[in-house]
Structure formats: structure tokens, C-alpha cells
Amino acid sequence: MREQRKPRASFSHILRESIIGKMAFIGFIILLLMIPISMVRQLIRDRQSLKDGAKFEVSEKWGQEQVVAGPIIMVPYRESYEKSNGELIETIKILHILPESLDISGDVVNEIRNRNRFEVMLYKSKLHLKGHFKLPNWSNLQLDAKQVLWNRAWVSIGISDNTGIKSQTNIKLGSQTYALESGSEAPNLLRSGLHSKIKLQPDVASIPFEFDLDLQGTDYIGFTPVGKETTVQIASPWKDPSFRGNFLRESYTPSDKGFTATWKIYDLNRNFPQTWLGDKYRFDRSDFGVSLIKKVDEYHLNYRSGKYALFVIALTFLIFFFFEVLGKHQLHPFQYLLIGLAISIFYLLLLSFSEQVGFKRAYVIAATATIGLIALYSKFILNNFRQAGLLGLLLMIIYGFIYVVLQLEDLALLVGSVGLFLVLAAVMYLSRNVNWFGDKDK
């Protein structure tokens, strides 16, 4: 007699009777739901790109990020040498003279403009710059003072974007006042800015200077420490500044009216000298300053919240799974899929509402709608009002926990790790008596 083969278990039977089979299919659904989640993440990046485009359009006309460098005295120097054939060759190099002291003080007032429904952070600043120059010791530089072309000297001030200059600027140098013209006249050192021809007296030991600068820009205002001792003091009504650059502030005083910040930089802290000849040095990446921006904007928070999508979906499915195992309910995979899609749409709601009412309100609206929808749906599929209420409470805890983690940027890793540990402990406790093999005699 032929041995009778046992009939293969049907797919429906596996889902009903096999806990491991049900878990495997739930895992497959979770992986499947990562497709719409990744689409939402891409949408967040697209919206961020649109915001950056709107910011660029406004800043082009208003003024982009600004870095002020100067003033710097430029003096042509004649060098000559004789070739092997006796021909005398003369070249002109530029001698750069930086200030002995540079004091900058001013107010920076933020202004928000809307462009295509996106907020762009702008600012207006009124700066006062003063200090003094000291002509170099020619013997220390191994230069001949007679070769200095004093009658062709000029002063340059570097400004990143001249579009942001909002008034005529004059500089008082010694006893003379000069009207500044467009262009730095030193493109190898200062890409853009202002300049003016000046009259220098080589026998003057100290040359004081002073000028005001009305400058507007977008997000960031920075300064290059060209002084042998550079001091900067900035006050602003913006309450959430972000400090940038290669030098730490010396003091920072926040208040209800904004903040005041002070920097003090010495020539020993930077990578260029007080005086040099030719194009030996650059000011690249030497600036410092402050950004008047939101440290964490809506799109950054949306993107960070999307990183927890897998955690939220898996935890929600786990709750339903325990309702099945411990409460003897039966849920179809399609019902799990609908619940997962509801969670996926939460992130789409969060993104769309955050553009209109801000992230905090958007999170409350999207979370309330999603929790309400899933709780109401679970009331019908579980046919148990108490379990539906418990589910809603657990989802409120999950979404509340995610919101707290999003706000605690510095402690997010610690709080998230503790939360995951507590979740694992709860799962281990609830599953301690589950018969995973489904043996009916146990």
C-alpha cells in the first residue's frame, strides 16, 4: 500500500493556527510599508528643495549670507631684478597691511519674508567699525621702503554680497574721509566689497580709522578677524541664534529681548600674518559669526520623525498581535495592511499641516486623527470597546514618546535607548506564557 501523504496546510490555515507563520507575514507587511514611508521621505526632501529655492530667490535680491573682512590697506611695491643677459625686470606686488586693532559693534534685526508659502529669514544690520593701522617695520620685512608706491595705495573692505549694502559708506582714515566705491580691487583676497584710493604718510606711526556699515543679508552674518586684536559685539532680538565659524564666542547673554554675543580673536589664533607681500595668504574659512535661523525647522523635524516610522509600525502591529494571541482574536493580513497605511499617512498629514500651522500643532492634529482612526477601526475588528480604548491609550503613549524624542535633540539617543529597553521588557513579560509552537496539549 502506498503511504498516504498528509495534505498540505492551506495559507489560511497557517495564518489561523501558526503563530510563527503569522509573525512572518506581519514582518513582510512591515517591509512592504517601507515603500510608502520612503516616498514620504522623498517628498520631504522635495519640499525642502523648494524652500531652498525660495530662499535663494529672495536672497538674490535682498542679500545673501554676509561676511565682512577689513579694512585692509593695500600698497603697491616695486621689485626689480636683473636677468642673466643684463636686462632689468620690474614687477609690482601688493603689500597687505592689516589693522593693529579692530572693534566691531552693532545690532542685527531679523525679518521674516514669505515666498511661495515658505518662510525666509532675513536680517538688517547696522555696524560700527573702528581701530587703527600701524605701518610695518621695513627692515623686519626685508623690504626697501623707497620701493613702496605710497601715491597708489588704497583701502579695501571685503563684503560677500554687495547687494546687501543699503547706504553710501564713507571711511575716515586718519584725518581724511574717503567715499568708498564698489569692488574690492583685490580679487585674489577679497572676492567682492568696497575700496577707495587713499593718501598715506610713511612717517605716521598710527593711522586710526572709523566707518559705519548698513548691511542686510540672509541667515548668517560673519566677520574675518583681520585685526591683530579683533573684538566683535553683536546684539539681536532673535532668541534662537546658532553660532558658526572657527572661533568660539567669549560671552553669550540671552534675555527676553534677544541676545548679546562677544568675540575676541588675536592674530595668534588665525593662519595669516599682519603684513605680507604678494598672494601668499587667503582668508578662506577664517570667519566667525551668528546665524539667525531656526536650529531645527519643520522639514528637519519631519524627516527625523520619519526615521521612527518602522518603530511605530512594528510596535502598533505588536500590540494587535498580542491582542490576537492573548485575546483569541483573528485579524486578517489585509487589516494589518490598512492599519499600516493609516500610520504611513500620518507622516503625510504631518508634513502638509506643518507647512501651514507649524510642527507642534501639525503633530497634534496628525497624531489625533491617526490614533482616532486606528482606535475606531480596532473597535469593529476586535469587537471589544475596552481593548480599543486600551489601544488608543497605548498609541497616545507611543506618539507622545516620539514627540519627546524629537524635541530632545541632545538626549534623543539616551531617551530612545531607554524607551526601546522598556518596550522589550514589556514584550518579554507579556509573551512569557505564549505557546509559540501552538501545541494543543500544552
Residue-wise pLDDT for 274-308, tens only, equals 988 888 888 877 899 998 876 667 788 888 888 88
Q: Domain 63-293 falls in which CATH fold? A: Immunoglobulin-like (2.60.40)
What is this structure's pTM?
0.74
Q: What percent of the chain has pLDDT over 90?
A: 20
Residue-wise pLDDT for 15-39, tens only, equals 555 566 677 777 888 888 888 888 8
**What is the number of other CB atoms lying within 10 angstroms of the CB of residue 171?**
23
Rounded to whole angstroms, how far apart are CA atoms 110 and 87?
61
Strand partners, 155: 73, 196
In the predicted model, is pLDDT for residue 65 greater than 60?
yes
The DSSP code sequence of 309-373 is: HHHHHHHHHHHHHHHHHHHT----HHHHHHHHHHHHHHHHHHHHHHHHH-HHHHHHHHHHHHHHH
Q: Are 294 and 240 in contact (CB under 8 A)?
A: yes
User: Which residues are CB-contacts of 375 (< 8 A; sequence separation ≥ 6)?
Assistant: 388, 389, 391, 392, 395
Name the grid cell of 305: 520623525
CA angle 416, 388, 313 (to 5 degrees): 35
What does the domain layout of the chain look like in residue ranges? 18-50+299-430, 63-293
In the predicted model, is pLDDT for residue 46 greater than 80?
yes
Strands 220-223 and 66-82: parallel
Question: Which pLDDT band holds residue 132 (cuts at 50, 70, 90)?
Answer: very high
Rounded to whole angstroms, how far apart are CA atoms 295 and 409?
10
Segment 181-191 mean pLDDT: 86
Note the pLDDT of residue 431.
Answer: 61
Query: Which candidate, 52, 299, 96, places its Cα nearest to that of 185?
Result: 96
Q: What percent of the chain has pLDDT over 70?
A: 86
- State the average pLDDT for the chain: 82
- pLDDT higher at 75 or 202: 75
Q: Are 347 and 37 in contact (CB under 8 A)?
A: yes
Note the pLDDT of residue 410.
Answer: 63
In the predicted model, is pLDDT for residue 135 greater than 50?
yes
In the predicted model, is pLDDT for residue 173 greater than 80?
yes
404-431 CB burial, b ≥16 within 10 A, e <16: ebbeeeeeeeeebeebeeebeeeeeeee
Question: Which pLDDT band holds residue 214 (cuts at 50, 70, 90)?
Answer: very high
Note the pLDDT of residue 1.
Answer: 45
Note the pLDDT of residue 427.
Answer: 67
Note the pLDDT of residue 82.
Answer: 66
Residue-wise pLDDT for 70-105, tens only, equals 899 998 888 776 666 666 677 888 889 999 999 999
